[in-house]
Structure 1
Amino acid sequence: MTTEYAGLAGWTPAALPVPGEVRPVVSAPDPVLSRPGPEVDPTSDEVVRLAADLIATMRVSPGCVGLAAPQVGVGAQVFAVDVTGHPKALTVHGTFVLCNARVVEATRWKSGREGCMSVPDLTGDVKRASRLVVEGLLPGTGAPVRLVTDGFEARALQHEIDHCLGLLFLDRVAGAHAIYQRKVYQ
């Protein structure tokens, strides 16, 4: 794992041997959202199916750039991210799923607005690293990945890792003054 995105280059959702099914997204205060998920065996059939389901669910959810296992009711350290086409995204690694991911370096902290499918009525200002190094494992093969990213993709990764640790963006805001009613566009 020595390159900028070692192990991820060439991986696509098609690498998963099963098609994904769309799962319902749970909302706060569902207890699964506030419990740290256990680490998983990324080569297990159950985790491979979960990875495919996360991608399928993310793809049918407008504006969704990431989805973690707890958001579909599964306490596990697995999440999907894809910031492709988002106007705030500068660095884009495409669609990927990571298991047992952890932040190994975080720098250049900035505040930014976040929302979440599991907290559909609110957004909040959250301070996160805008440069990030994350390590995790790919579902199916268990191959290690070291991902270096920045900006919006870094924010999305931290948001999803937080879900796997039992945290919502509301747990990261500076206080009630940094929480807002989500705007509804018609």
Structure 2
Amino acid sequence: MTQRTVLRLGDPRLRQVSRPVERFGTPELHALITDLRDTMAACAGAGLAAPQIAVPLRVVIFGITVNPRYPEAPPIPETVLINPEITPIDRDRASGWEGCLSVPGLRGQVSRWRRILYRGFDAEGHPIERSVDGFHARVVQHECDHLDGVLFPDRLVDSRSLGFTEELEASGLLPVAGPLAPASPEHTLDRMRQQLERHSALEDLGPLFGPKAQGLAPGRDPS
């Protein structure tokens, strides 16, 4: 087993655009895939991209059966996807909680295509094509973002949804052990307002949440 170090947010290598794989079935490619698989398993991840272990190639791995970080997630077959392409099936999007091994301890609300078609190749160069939705679609989009230097905080529906996992769980904003459960950003912010009200903090933090936090209807001027 070879567990590699996972780069963390702030490392410039995570912001590089990765190169396509040109040769399939090589010992080097198989070694990379083994390292990705072992590292993902050791970190209890649902997926991992080659740039996260400092290899700027367009290779991702994902899959989940029983996972302590995602106990309620539906199973996803383990898949090695090389040189992937993603096409949304329709215009329907969904917001949900996301985290990342490269952004440890934090979660945030991210909007993704609900249904996608993804294409690519396996380690031997055989084509892969699948239509998926829900959690499966979210994981694939998240991992493929890494290949273009994009991390989930770049796609937050609202920066105010970003928080430490333990704090979000303790406040009831994030379901315990459900980091990618679907939820609307409006619901999340409403729960944040409720928590602040219980701590008598809304008057001081009114500008953070806008007119609604100050008891005004959206679009109404304070005067």
Equivalent-residue separation in structure 1 for 2:57 and 2:39 (angstroms): 16
Corresponding letter in the other structure for 2:121: L
Offset of residue 179 of structure 1: 1.2
Q: Deviations over 1:68-117 (max 9, x none)?
A: 00111111110110122344434x44111111001023433100000001
Q: Report whether the alignment pairs 1:131 with 2:115.
A: yes
Determine if contact 2:50/2:56 at 8 Å carries over to the other structure: yes
User: Which of the two has greater helix per residue?
Assistant: 2
User: Which of the two has greater strand per residue?
Assistant: 1
The match for 1:144 is: 127
Equivalent-residue separation in structure 1 for 2:43 and 2:107 (angstroms): 17
Q: 1:101 to 1:34 in 2, by over 3 A?
A: same
Determine if contact 1:21/1:52 at 8 Å carries over to the other structure: yes
Equivalent-residue separation in structure 2 for 1:182 and 1:89 (angstroms): 17
Greater relative contact order (CA < 8 Å, ≥ 6 in sequence): 1
The count of aligned residue pairs is 163
Alignment of 1:33-52 (within 5 A): 33-41=14-22, 42-52=24-34
Three-state SS of the structure 2 residue aligned to 1:122 is strand
Q: 1:39 to 1:134 in 2, by over 3 A?
A: same
Larger Rg: 2
Q: Report whether the alignment pairs 1:89 with 2:70.
A: no
What TM-score comes out, normalization by structure 2 length? 0.68
Q: Deviations over 1:44-75 (max 9, x none)?
A: 3222211111111111113x100000111111
The match for 1:61 is: 43
Three-state SS of the structure 2 residue aligned to 1:158 is helix
Offset of residue 131 of structure 1: 1.2
User: Please, what is the CA RMSD of the aligned residues?
Assistant: 1.8
Q: 1:115 to 1:106 in 2, by over 3 A?
A: farther
What TM-score comes out, normalization by structure 1 length? 0.81
Equivalent-residue separation in structure 2 for 1:100 and 1:106 (angstroms): 19
Q: Gapped runs of 5+ residues in structure 1?
A: 1-19
